[in-house]
Amino acid sequence: QSVLTQPPSASGTPGQRVTISCSGSSSNIGINYIYWYQQLPGTAPKLLIYRTNQRPSGVPDRFSGSKSGTSASLAISGLRSEDEADYYCAAWDDSLSGRVFGGGTKLTVL
Amino acid sequence: QVQLQQWGARLLKPSETLSLTCGVNGGSFNGYYWSWIRQPPGKGLEWIGEINHSRSTNYNPSLKSRVTISIHTSKNQFSLKLTSVTAADTAVYYCARGNGSGSPRGIHFDYWGQGTLVPVSS
């Protein structure tokens, strides 16, 4: 049982916009930054979004992050086949004094 | 370009100690949190813990009693030891660089090692 809750799966067709949610609490998402990672099959995770809504250089602006209260979202617009991957949210949890990850969402591009 | 290369023991028996080391090439070693994260086969990511160049550590409370993370600044390396392993510790173990503000809250993992699968089986 992950501290941060994500839907196990999501899907969309090429060109579509999809959103992946991440639900937490007042001790993590409510007061701290959110991070999103993309993991392609058989590879290490890759940073997609940092500090809730910032993109590292090289990450397309099709990817965007947001937060409201104790929930966060990753939006992917103009969906492409290469976006098919697992996506994880992460945050620092003040109650645990540690980092927590969501359980991951497997995105399928139909 | 920063590269993290990890190595260590592979197949373990229950009750043994898992030991992994991560070497950092390129970039400064100071000013970052050096972290370990694991992923059981077919499952999600779990943060194990981290250390900075001042040897300040943070550990996952659920693993804290069995985990030691140490740093070897002269070699640009950091290590993980996990004692008394069981089958539940079977996972791909990743080392990663934690980058961001001085506070642990603002840290993101921007570089990752290649991952090491460590099976635990009798």
Residue B88 is classified by DSSP as G
Residues of chain A contacting B113 with CB distance shorter than 8 Å: 44
Pair of tokens at residue B46: 């779990």
Q: How confident is the model at residue A10 (pLDDT cuts 50, 70, 90)?
A: very high
pLDDT of residue B115: 96
pLDDT of residue A86: 98
pLDDT of residue B2: 93
* pLDDT averaged over 10-residue windows placed end to end, chain B, 122 residues: 91 96 90 95 96 92 97 93 97 95 84 96 94
- What is the spatial distance between Cα B40 and Cα B71, in angstroms, rounded to a whole number? 25
pLDDT of residue B29: 82
Measured at the alpha carbon of residue B69, what is the angle toward residues B68 and B71, in degrees to the nearest 5? Answer: 140
**For residue range A54-88, what is the model confidence (pLDDT) as tens digits?**
999 999 999 999 999 999 999 999 999 999 999 99
Residues on A contacting B at a C-beta cutoff of 8 Å? 2, 32-33, 35, 37, 44-47, 50-51, 56, 88, 90, 92, 96-104
pLDDT of residue B9: 79
Residue A87 is classified by DSSP as E
The residue whose two tokens read 């160049």 is B53
Q: How confident is the model at residue A44 (pLDDT cuts 50, 70, 90)?
A: very high
Does B12 lie at the interface with A, CB-CB under 8 angstroms? Answer: no
| A92: closest chain B residue by CA | B105
pLDDT of residue B106: 84
Distance from CA of A15 to the nearest CA of B (A): 27
| Cβ–Cβ gap B61/A46 under 8 Å | no
- What is the spatial distance between Cα A55 and Cα A36, in angstroms, rounded to a whole number? 10
